[in-house]
Amino acid sequence: MRVFSYFNRAIHGHPAFSKLVVLFSLSSGGLVAYSESQSDSGGHGVEINQMEPKKKRVVVLGTGWAGTSFLKDLDFSSYDVQVVSPRNYFAFTPLLPSVTCGTVEARSIVEPIRNIMKKRSGEIQFWEAECLKIDAANKKIFCRSNLNENLVGNNEFLLEYDYLVIAVGAQVNTFNTPGVLEYCHFLKEVEDAQNLRRSVIDCFEKAVLPGLSEEERRANLHFVIVGGGPTGVEFSAELHDYVHEELVKLYPAVKDLVKISMIQSGDHILNSFDERISSFAEQKFQRDGIEVLTGCRVVSVSDKLISMKMKSSKEVSSIPHGLVVWSTGIGSRPVVRDFMEQIGQGHRRVLVTDEWLQVKGCPNVYALGDCATIDQRKIMEDILTIFKAADKDNSGTLTVEEFQDVVQDILIRYPQVDLYLKSKHLAHVTDLLKDSKGNDRNEVDIAGFKLALCQVDSQMKSLPATAQVAAQQGAYLSRCFNHMEQSSSNPEGPLRFTGSGRYQFRPFRYKHFGQFAPLGGEQAAAELPGDWVSIGHSTQWLWYSIYASKQVSWRTRYLVVSDWSRRFILGRDSSRI
Amino acid sequence: MRVFSYFNRAIHGHPAFSKLVVLFSLSSGGLVAYSESQSDSGGHGVEINQMEPKKKRVVVLGTGWAGTSFLKDLDFSSYDVQVVSPRNYFAFTPLLPSVTCGTVEARSIVEPIRNIMKKRSGEIQFWEAECLKIDAANKKIFCRSNLNENLVGNNEFLLEYDYLVIAVGAQVNTFNTPGVLEYCHFLKEVEDAQNLRRSVIDCFEKAVLPGLSEEERRANLHFVIVGGGPTGVEFSAELHDYVHEELVKLYPAVKDLVKISMIQSGDHILNSFDERISSFAEQKFQRDGIEVLTGCRVVSVSDKLISMKMKSSKEVSSIPHGLVVWSTGIGSRPVVRDFMEQIGQGHRRVLVTDEWLQVKGCPNVYALGDCATIDQRKIMEDILTIFKAADKDNSGTLTVEEFQDVVQDILIRYPQVDLYLKSKHLAHVTDLLKDSKGNDRNEVDIAGFKLALCQVDSQMKSLPATAQVAAQQGAYLSRCFNHMEQSSSNPEGPLRFTGSGRYQFRPFRYKHFGQFAPLGGEQAAAELPGDWVSIGHSTQWLWYSIYASKQVSWRTRYLVVSDWSRRFILGRDSSRI
């Protein structure tokens, strides 16, 4: 009976699922068994376990940086956690460019998600499947496994959640350029790196075959990288090293025909980095013979040609290629796009959350990592309420003391204030209240307060789509989940200027620990905290040590380090497997 | 002009190629350039290099055990060597079962063929392509590369040879069992092992999905191995260890549902081994819970079921499976089959060579490894000529002294004599001439001579299709090639009883160094020379040391040993990549 009432509710709750349920019921009763077990553990079997408080069900989508970092720290004893991802492993994606050339093996940068979860107490529930639809209204998701169709049993299933954590990452953005999906390589997944490695060898094997003209050999050995970001730059550098350290010895007949080109729409490569790094990289690439075409946009890719348009001259030219790697831009995955339509975010470019990583307009759904962006509240939107809350004596003016009482909450709630202070080299936040000549003022009225803060919001910028951001968000969110109960009675967050009381948690704040760009030839460039820039061989060693320390397990740490050592001693392998 | 005369000859010599040549000529002149270079180096350009003796062109097909072992020792300075293989690497195939479960990584057992050839002096010419047709009449082969179709230039080319070495190996023999090609896994190539590894994980991931019945979970976790030879046994043992050492911890919900079955048509598994090993293996498998179905033949395989017939009861039964590995029997590849038709061997099961590995009826073509078999000359076929040659005084009887004069040549030419002596525990070959009561005789007539040797040919048996045989054949043939010149004036081989003089070389003789069967749980069985049998943990360590020492390069040796250590310390990886 309970099963049927569950079905009824499921069907009535969301008519779109009724067809699916009928489909499931037809196939050997698999879902029936599942629904029953779900209803036991899922809050429907209240008549049995009324005494014990039910654990809240958390469903996590994705096992990338954000999802894994969330799972690593989550207290499994307080939640019933289910993880859904088409990949049963976590991949250390910053090393993907190294996998393309065999500097590091694919298997050295992956760790089974079950291994990671095993270390946590409580029950492990991981399903190797893809979430195809989020039904936020009914707190359900619909999943399908991509496993071998020859295996018996349904590949489709429904999960119910109390909290949903969306960490599915992003997909490649082709900017609707024709031919990109068909003829370009990408560098987002481990399989991409493995395919790329094979394809590089293919280009060499093809180029040395008897019966080709020199022009054909040259075309096959022309490697084109679209996008001058850190991934594209690192791949170019790795490829250059691979070719010049190993392949020229094995394919001596064609060693002078190899060419690597990088196409960048901006004026410089690595334009998210400090200018010094960007120009060092460009000079190094020039010395290495890697052609950098800046101010140049790809208009189409075919199996043999890549066409591009110079921004300056509007001229379109086509060049033959052996292989194109597309490493520019990311876009939302279909399941996220569909979800955005449902919750009224259809017009947004990417899923939007508040500063607590909660999806806007959708309580109990969190989104983090590359699939989401934080919509930081502007201070100017709240300026009146802030003023009102701070002006305790309702005098219509704010004294420095009154301001100081709320300043901590302002700094936590609006991180742009901190950035603004730094950019203006102001020592203390009360310096904001100084008049235009820099003299202290005892009090300001609302107009003066607005004027003092009017520039602050200009410092807001969205976070980059990096592993670092995703990992910090995952760790932040797991902390929130672990403190959910105690913080509900004892909120940790800043004052609610627009309401009463305090926020349950402090908003997420990103700490930038710097970024690296390996440039090949055992050299790297790094942007370190405090605007430090470091370039050269020592930076490459810093890169080695930081990347080794950041590994998710001792196993992968050992494997990555031994791969590096092997490469130094024995070189890279060029077998086409 | 020379190009055209070359074309003319090529077309007239073999009309079937004319279409190809026209096809080639249409595509940007690639072949023209190639033909020219060929004619320069290939014996057509006599007007230029009349003074210098041309190097003979050797074309080697295949980079497996036979081909690689041939190339490793060949003197590249005396020959113009070209190697054609669809795999640009050598794979240490005996470790393939270890790759299926991640005990050893795929990349640790492969070595680029260019690396191996680089160590030899002279020019390296390797083409990653498949030989599709051998035209022995015109000493040409037709090749096609399987490389990415998007790369420019012809994938097809012709090569001319003076000597052809066929070492393409064998393909799986399905015995025309329906469904095998579609639904079974094999263990012949590195890719097979990689796919198998992914598929094992798939079975587990599928079995734990929500909504499956226990029956379905059991079906997905039923692993069936067809064939009880060393490969099948080793894979079963590896899989058993993998499941019980790693996977049960990661998939605890289904750990009791896993089943491994082995189907063997013979009465025992490992039936090419000593009986003690065979029964030890059966007992160990029984203890491990691996079901062994002997006397059982597979009649069909579908996506979900495997059907088999018991030899005794003729009963056909079908059982659900998650994965089937087919590791029984080998057959000829299409290119070899086609070649056999051409040279009148169409009725044979496998390509036949003489004792010098030369293809019968096809001078200058050699075949070795799994693609060929040696047709050992029977001594009884030559008995009259042997008698005549030995009977120097034409007395009609053979004295012991006369026999002793030719006995070395007999032993070399007919290795079965040696095997016969051993099987009869005879100390010396002249013991053959003793009479039926064991008394020495001073001389025998032709009838007595025939009687003495009539049992000898029963000892002949064809060599097994193993790496050991292939490697020894490759080494033997390269020695012949390296001594080609000096042995033509100074032949090394035994007396030609049916002709005059001596054979240029001694015939190939296989030395059996024993064989291993790893049985899992750090135990192995070994059959060592001199009918020694060794079983247990120490044998596994012997296996480790021999397999490490047999690696083709220091690189793979280092990798394999470090994989083994890693497995001991960190376990196997279960990421589905």
What residue of B is the nearest CA neighbor of A557?
Answer: B570
In chain B, the N- to C-terminal Cα span, in Å, equals: 55
CA A101, chain centre distance (Å): 23
The verdict on a CB contact (< 8 Å) between B209 and A155 is: yes
The verdict on a CB contact (< 8 Å) between A250 and B118 is: yes
Please provide the average confidence, as pLDDT, over all residues in chain A: 86
Residue A119: pLDDT band by 50, 70, 90 thresholds? low
Amino acid at B31: L
**Mutate which of B103, B152, B323 to test chain A, going by most A C-beta atoms within 10 A?**
B152
Q: Is the per-residue pLDDT at A218 higher than 90?
A: yes
Q: Which residues in chain B are closer than 8 Å to A212, comparing Cβ atoms?
A: 30, 33-34, 152-154
Tell me the pLDDT tens digit for each residue of A475-512. Answer: 999 999 999 989 988 998 898 888 888 999 999 999 98
Comparing A225-239, A282-296, A435-449, B359-373, which segment has the lowest mean pLDDT? A435-449
Q: What is the mean pLDDT of residues A421-444?
A: 80
How many angstroms separate the CA atoms of B69 and A373, rounded?
59
Q: Is the per-residue pLDDT at A35 higher than 80?
A: no
Tell me the pLDDT tens digit for each residue of A360-416. Answer: 989 899 999 999 999 998 988 888 888 888 888 888 888 888 888 888 888 898 888
pLDDT at B121: 56
Q: Nearest to residue B82, comparing CAs of B113, B49, B111, B110?
A: B113
Cα distances (Å, whole numbers) of residue B296 to A357, A552, B272, B319: 61, 48, 17, 13
pLDDT at A419: 85
Residue written as token pair 């470019």: A349
Please provide the average confidence, as pLDDT, over all residues in chain B: 86
Nearest by CB: B30 against A29, A106, A216:
A216
3-state secondary structure A320-363: ECCEEEECCCEECCHHHHHHHHHCCCCCCCCEEECCCCEECCCC
Q: What angle do CA B45, B47, B48 make, to 5 degrees?
A: 75
Q: B527 - beta bridge partners?
A: B515, B533
pLDDT at B291: 96
Q: Which residues in chain B are closer than 8 Å to A558, comparing Cβ atoms?
A: 566, 570
Say which residue, A421 or A167, is predicted with more confidence: A167
The verdict on a CB contact (< 8 Å) between A216 and B558 is: no
Q: What angle do CA B281, B286, B291 make, to 5 degrees?
A: 105
Cβ neighbors of B472 (< 8 A, separation 6 or more) are B69, B508, B510, B511
What residue of A is the nearest CA neighbor of B562?
Answer: A562
How many angstroms separate the CA atoms of A485 and B79, rounded?
80
Tell me the pLDDT tens digit for each residue of A85-102. Answer: 999 999 999 999 999 999
pLDDT at B24: 35
How many angstroms separate the CA atoms of A387 and A406, rounded?
10
The verdict on a CB contact (< 8 Å) between A574 and B88 is: yes
Q: Which long-range contacts (CB under 8 A, 24 or more apart) does B542-550 make?
A: B542/B516, B543/B516, B543/B518, B546/B516, B547/B92, B547/B94, B547/B95, B550/B92
Domains located in chain B, CATH noted: 53-172+330-376+462-511 (3.50.50.100), 184-328+513-570 (3.50.50.100), 385-459 (no CATH)
Q: Give the DSSP letter of residue B454.
A: T
* Cβ neighbours around A24 below 10 Å, total: 22
How many angstroms separate the CA atoms of A555 and A111, rounded?
8
Say which residue, B404 or A283, is predicted with more confidence: A283
**Å between B450 CA and nearest CA of chain A:** 55
3-state secondary structure B202-261: HHHHHHCCCCCCHHHHHHHCEEEEECCCHHHHHHHHHHHHHHHHHHHHHCHHHHHHCEEE
Comparing A332-341, A557-566, B452-461, which segment has the lowest mean pLDDT? B452-461
**Mutate which of A82, A144, A152, A156 to test chain B, going by most B C-beta atoms within 10 A?**
A152
Per-residue tokens: B347: 């009725």
- The sign one gets for the Cα dihedral A11, A14, A15, A21 is negative
pLDDT at A122: 55
Q: Nearest to residue A70, comparing CAs of A540, A504, A482?
A: A482
Tell me the pLDDT tens digit for each residue of A525-547. Answer: 998 887 789 999 999 999 999 99
pLDDT at B404: 86
Q: Which residues in chain B are closer than 8 Å to A206, comparing Cβ atoms?
A: 128, 145, 147-148, 151, 153, 155
Q: How many CB pairs under 8 A join A and B?
A: 225
Per-residue tokens: A502: 């305090």
pLDDT at A206: 94
How many angstroms separate the CA atoms of B177 and B23, rounded?
39
Tell me the pLDDT tens digit for each residue of A354-375. Answer: 999 999 989 899 999 999 999 9
How many angstroms separate the CA atoms of A205 and A192, rounded?
20
Nearest by CB: B112 against A87, A157, A250:
A250
Per-residue tokens: A34: 């599942």
pLDDT at B122: 55
Say which residue, A283 or B398, is predicted with more confidence: A283
**Å between B144 CA and nearest CA of chain A:** 10
pLDDT at B461: 84
For residue A144, the number of C-alpha atoms closer than 13 Å in the C-beta half-sphere is 8
Q: Is the per-residue pLDDT at A225 higher than 90?
A: yes
How many angstroms separate the CA atoms of A187 and A172, rounded?
9
pLDDT at B552: 86
Tell me the pLDDT tens digit for each residue of A41-77. Answer: 333 333 334 455 688 999 999 999 999 999 998 988 8
Tell me the pLDDT tens digit for each residue of B462-521. Answer: 888 999 999 999 999 999 999 998 998 899 889 888 888 899 999 999 998 889 999 999
pLDDT at A298: 95
**Residues B364 and B481: beta-carbon distance below 8 Å:** no
Nearest by CB: A558 against B156, B554, B570:
B570
Say which residue, B21 or A563, is predicted with more confidence: A563
Nearest by CB: A107 against B114, B115, B575:
B575
Q: Which residues in chain A are closer than 8 Å to B148, comparing Cβ atoms?
A: 199, 202, 206
pLDDT at B320: 96
Low-confidence residues of chain B: pLDDT under 70: 1-53, 119-123
Cβ neighbors of B102 (< 8 A, separation 6 or more) are B197, B242, B567, B572, B573, B574
How many angstroms separate the CA atoms of A222 and A259, rounded?
5
Q: Is the per-residue pLDDT at A444 higher than 90?
A: no
How many angstroms separate the CA atoms of A64 and A171, rounded?
13
Cα distances (Å, whole numbers) of residue B536 to B260, B347, B463, B516, B540: 22, 44, 27, 11, 7
Q: Which residues in chain A are closer than 8 Å to B104, comparing Cβ atoms?
A: none
